[in-house]
Homo-oligomer: A and B are copies of this chain.
Amino acid sequence: MSTEKVAMPWQDRPEGHTEVLWRHSENPIIARDAIPTSNSIFNSAVVPFGDGYAGVFRCDNKAVQMNIFAGFSKDGIHWDIAHEPIQFAAGNTEMIDSDYKYDPRVTWIEDRYWITWCNGYHGPTIGIGYTFDFKEFFQCENAFLPFNRNGVLFPEKIDGKFAMLSRPSDNGHTPFGDIYVSYSPDMKYWGEHRCVMKASPFMDSAWQCTKIGAGPIPILVDEGWLMFYHGVINTCNGFRYSMGAAILDKDNPAVVKYRTQPYLLAPQTTYECMGDVPNVVFPCAALHSVEEDKVAVYYGAADTTVALAYGKLSEVVKFTIENSL
């Protein structure tokens, strides 16, 4: 989300660093036990709010039950996370069943903050909710039939309709998954499903050859929608999640204009390579300032903690264009 009104979390590029993105020096910024009941806190979303930031955090408890929690921060780095999960009231439906909630995304659209998450309804599907104040929350109809994950809203309507990225899948560890876009006139009924982009051939870009899924809310830049996403390779020792970027057509996001053949960030530090699920970099949110040419990407590390990486927005775009698959 754009952070024109408040200071962005930021660190300058470390000397000698030559990659497009660089890690926050004090990563992880949120520890696994940041609230008393948590086994792990990761794959979480943040958004500018008031004179600081609000966030929705995936905190798995020590029974490894998944739920989402609200939090607030002045600087986007130090967070005060609620000790109880978000309670939703009925939004555009009375049916707000939820066996579990995880991997939230948040964005402001028109008049309110919309939250999407992986919602347990006979398997994973995309839950939708909204809030005006991060105090009261309202849950809407699930967007899709199961099985689906990684539902990510565009931050503004496209051609008068809400637009959402998602990754249809199955109900296990899902050895496949591509990114689609769907539209809705009313956040209740969804259609016009289009395939956006698929896992790449192994020989072209192996880090994203098993499955892919959208990450943070897409960022509107001159070239189109900048979409950070995760890609997965299935090694002989399990899945490895890395981060890339794509630029989608502004008016028709089913059209991929550019897409990074190399990854932008892959698991290499101890906190990314060791944890409940080793070798995971999973981006879920980004703050950016076009004026300052900055972007800060929040990502889950090893399904255990929240980490932060920085980059120059223009460099990310340039890299994506120049290293396109």
Nearest-CB residue, chain B, relative to A120: B203
- Contact code string A214-254 (vs B, CB < 8 Å = 1, else 0): 00000000000000000001111111100000000000000
Q: Which residues of B contact A194 (CB under 8 A)?
A: 95
A87 within 8 A of B: no
Q: Which residues of B contact A190 (CB under 8 A)?
A: 189-191
- Contact code string A181-193 (vs B, CB < 8 Å = 1, else 0): 0111110111111
- Contact code string A63-102 (vs B, CB < 8 Å = 1, else 0): 1111000000000000000000000000001010001100
- Contact code string A238-277 (vs B, CB < 8 Å = 1, else 0): 1110000000000000000000011100111010011111
A121 within 8 A of B: yes
Nearest-CB residue, chain B, relative to A60: B206
A192-B91 Cα distance, complex, nearest whole Å:
13
A14 within 8 A of B: no
User: Contacts A191-B190, A204-B63 known; A239 to B237 CB distance under 8 Å?
Assistant: yes
**Majority-rule SS of A interface residues:** loop
Nearest-CB residue, chain B, relative to A18: B36
| Chain B nearest Cβ from A200, distance in angstroms | 9
User: Contacts A95-B194, A192-B93, A279-B276 known; A65 to B145 CB distance under 8 Å?
Assistant: no
- Contact code string A160-198 (vs B, CB < 8 Å = 1, else 0): 000000101111010010101011111011111111001
A184-B191 Cα distance, complex, nearest whole Å:
10
B239 touches A236 (CB 8 A): yes
A207-B40 Cα distance, complex, nearest whole Å:
12
A142 within 8 A of B: yes
Size bracket of the A interface: 35 or more
Q: Which residues of B contact A184 (CB under 8 A)?
A: 189, 191
A2 within 8 A of B: no
Could you say which of B32, B36, B186, B189 contacts A268, with CB atoms under 8 Å apart?
B32
The 19 listed contacts between A and B (C-beta, < 8 Å) are A18-B36, A39-B266, A62-B266, A63-B204, A65-B204, A122-B178, A122-B198, A145-B145, A146-B168, A169-B170, A173-B235, A184-B191, A189-B189, A189-B191, A235-B238, A266-B276, A270-B274, A273-B275, A278-B279
Q: Which 9 A-B pairs have the closest CB atoms?
A: A237-B238, A62-B262, A189-B189, A64-B206, A189-B191, A170-B170, A63-B205, A173-B236, A64-B207
New A-B pairs, 18, CB < 8 Å, besides A60-B206, A147-B168: A39-B207, A62-B262, A63-B205, A63-B206, A64-B207, A64-B233, A65-B204, A95-B192, A120-B203, A122-B180, A125-B193, A147-B170, A236-B239, A237-B238, A237-B239, A266-B276, A273-B278, A278-B279
